[in-house]
Amino acid sequence: MTKSLTKVIYKPSTQSSEEFTVIVNLEEYKKWKEGDTTIPLAEVVDSFDVFHSTQGAQGILGKASNQQLDNVFGTHKDVDVVQQLLQKGTPQQSDGIRSSDFGGTNISIGSFGVDTKGKGLRGL
């Protein structure tokens, strides 16, 4: 069984595919969103890293730059940005990543065998 993953996504414009994302603890986020200000943000979010995608939900997530954060949130201070994102964003829950989702080999390259003797994988 996998642990589910919950992220809060904020789209600054409905016309844009640009999204900002932060990973959250769903139970703590719900309490915080309902007004329980006694919960520290450090317990609400997995980390204060804000991720950015220009391709929407299917795009590759990268860490947002200070300039991107300044342009959208008016600051790049992580606590302020995360707080705004949590207030304005919408939660989205998904299944976590399971190791069984990935095969044991890379079809294009071969096995994941590690050569620790420097002789190559020919002898395997």
Reported as a single tens digit per residue, the pLDDT across 7-28 is 999 998 888 888 999 999 989 9
CATH homologous superfamily of domain 5-92? Ribosome maturation protein SBDS, N-terminal domain (3.30.1250.10)
Could you tell me where the DSSP H helices lie in 1-124? Answer: 26-33, 41-44, 66-73, 78-88
Q: Residue 101: what pLDDT?
A: 46
pLDDT computed for residue 55 by the predictor: 80
The dihedral built from the CA positions of residue 42, 44, 46 and 47, taken in this order, carries a sign that is negative
Q: Is the dihedral of CA 89, 92, 98, 104 positive or negative?
A: negative
Q: Where are the domains of the chain?
A: 5-92
Q: What is the pLDDT of residue 17?
A: 81
Give dist(CA 21, CA 35) in Å, integer: 21
With a cut of 50, list the residues of the chain below it in pLDDT: 1, 99-103
pTM of the model: 0.70
